[in-house]
Amino acid sequence: MQILQILNSRVYLLPSFLPFSALCYFWGRCYKFRLMDTECDTPLGSPPPPDCFCCNLSRVRADCTLELRNNIIRIKGQHSLPEDKKASHASHHHLTLTLAAIMLASGLLLVALLACLCVILLMSTWRQRKLSGKLPPGPTPLPFIGNYLQLDTEQMYTSIMKIRERYGPVFTIHMGTRRVVVLCGYDAVKEALLDQADAFSGRGEQATFGWIFENHGVVFSNGERAKQLRRFSISTLRDFGVGKRGIEERIQEEAGFIVQALQNTGGNFIDPTFYMSQAVSNVICSIVFGDRFDYEDKEFLWLLGMMLRSFTFTATSTGQLFEFFTSVMKYLPGPQQQAFKNLKKLKNFIVKKVEQNQRTLDPNAPRNFIDSFLIRMQEEKSNPNSEFFMKNLVMTTLNLFIAGTETVSTTLRYGFLLLMKYPEVEAKVHEEIDRVIGRNRQPKFEDRVKMPYTEAVIHEIQRFGDIIPMGVAHRVTKDTKFQGYLIPKGTEVFPILGSVLRDPKFFSNPGDFNPQHFLDEKGQFKKSDAFMPFSIGKRYCFGEGLARMELFLFLTTIMQNFRFRSQQMPRDIDVSPQFVGFSTIPRNYTMSFLPR
């Protein structure tokens, strides 16, 4: 029978490489031993038989040790037995304990230790919340996992909206040990990012990208670094034509290339993903690298593939789980490791491009964004506080490369799917293009003021597609009073842009795709304050102007030349996203571009 029965002794057991060893404490003294079976049949808690050596062991001296031989724990050294048992047991200087009993005792102690640890952590959390001021309400977090049980990583946005129903538009959640204040709806987001722009201007974490950027580059940095890099980036992009006629001509040129590539498909069904990625990416590449890539360039396709997979990972369940348990999962195998490898390869590509520019740099004639940054580095090399150094150059370039490719190309891909789902909308856009632009010239950005329906469709594609639903995390830069609460300095803040784009106070049927959301009674384009896919405030996306121009010129040029056809009937097309997390990813599909 498997038992542990030691009378008149205090026994404490801790697991240490069980089942091979453990720690046994007799009278507070520690002995290492191994585990075995026993012959003793005395039930636990029963009176000990007078002839049982195990049950009558009353004391073990401190100079004794325990060892395992032939599956028996033996006490080596002097120990005491009742006087009437010494003679008969002189040759039995051993103690037998069972594996099951040791495991049971160790397990009970482990449970007790974990319970104590949980109590300590709960007290620590309570104390932290008390010291942190009057935070917005929210579900009570558990140690280590936070609100993981209330947040479905496969439906993160939906989970957050459910919590909003209970706690209101401003509440607190815990993603693992990471405390986040969540802002939902136009009023809360606008008050934070516009009315208190300075206080909410810090940058929070995005675990997948944060792993490689490490507070460098224009997007994921903070403080003076973020200000300097942002100011430089906006100025330099303007120098290379962004917001001017120069970049419009570059987009028109690339639109011509994509039309030719689509004509070469011969009306066959294709996946448009990489066609759109190539066209959009070439625009930012011409600014950052000074040149475009050919659509047949294998290295270009390889780069775009890694970028797409990394961006998609942020929308998956594993990507959201990584946001909860970053400190653990970054050491574990899984899809996150491949995302890290992809981002590292993208970084290495940027490093190679920078090195090429360094070898041929002319300080008096910058050719692209990289050249301009290198020149600034030379100008400030004697400034010890300068933010213009190599890592910031590489990471800022990588920021522009990723952000300038994935958001617009994913929006276009979602737009094609929606137009096939609603062919009547496609027909109206075709009619407006033919009436305003015709077939004999390329669309111009200025045409949009005469094309209210097309402009409304593009806005509705952005609103419905909601490519960055969670927004990029912010952080308060000081203790901040907000809607009756006190948010401590350094607290992360999620402005849920998707909740603004679906705010029923501004959009009558927020769950439906309907261009009428942006049209007035006379059919003229109607702006909406709640339209903020590029965010607002001091950390808004400064590529907004470029993205708007790309969306209009690419979509109208493609639709000027093609009709869209799906392999499915419109009623069977599923326009719900495949993944929703940090980003929104539409479902994979094929389509045919039929010449008009």
Annotated binding-site ranges for heme: 541
Of the candidates 277, 228, 273, 219, which has an alpha carbon nearest to the alpha carbon of residue 471?
Answer: 219
Two tokens at 264? Answer: 């070469």
Backbone φ and ψ of 404, nearest 5°: -80, -5
Q: Which residues are annotated as a binding site?
A: 541
Instruction: Give the end-to-end CA distance of the chain in Å, rounded to a whole number.
Output: 86
Two tokens at 523? Answer: 């059919």
Q: How far lies 103's CA from each of 23, 94, 185, 400, in Å?
A: 12, 20, 54, 57
Residues forming beta bridges with residue 593, ordered by sequence position: 564
| Cβ-based neighbour number of residue 446 at 10 Å | 8
Please state, in angstroms and rounded to a whole number, the distance separating the CA atoms of residues 50 and 76: 23
Please state, in angstroms and rounded to a whole number, the distance separating the CA atoms of residues 290 and 39: 83
The SS3 assignment for 68 reads strand
Backbone φ and ψ of 46, nearest 5°: -85, 155
Q: Are 534 and 226 in contact (CB under 8 A)?
A: no
Contacts of residues 100-104 at CB distance under 8 Å and 24 or more positions apart, as own/partner, are 100/2, 101/2, 101/3, 101/4, 102/4, 102/13, 102/18, 102/19, 102/22, 102/35, 103/18, 103/19, 103/35, 104/4
Residues 6+ apart with CB under 8 A from 27: 9, 10, 62
Burial 152-191 (b: 16+ CB within 10 A, else e): ebeebbebbeebbeebebbbbbbbbbbbbbbbbbbbbbbb
Please state, in angstroms and rounded to a whole number, the distance separating the CA atoms of residues 152 and 155: 5
Two tokens at 201? Answer: 């201007």
Residue length of the chain: 596
Of the candidates 172, 185, 74, 112, which has an alpha carbon nearest to the alpha carbon of residue 492?
Answer: 172
Q: Which amino acid is at 45?
A: G
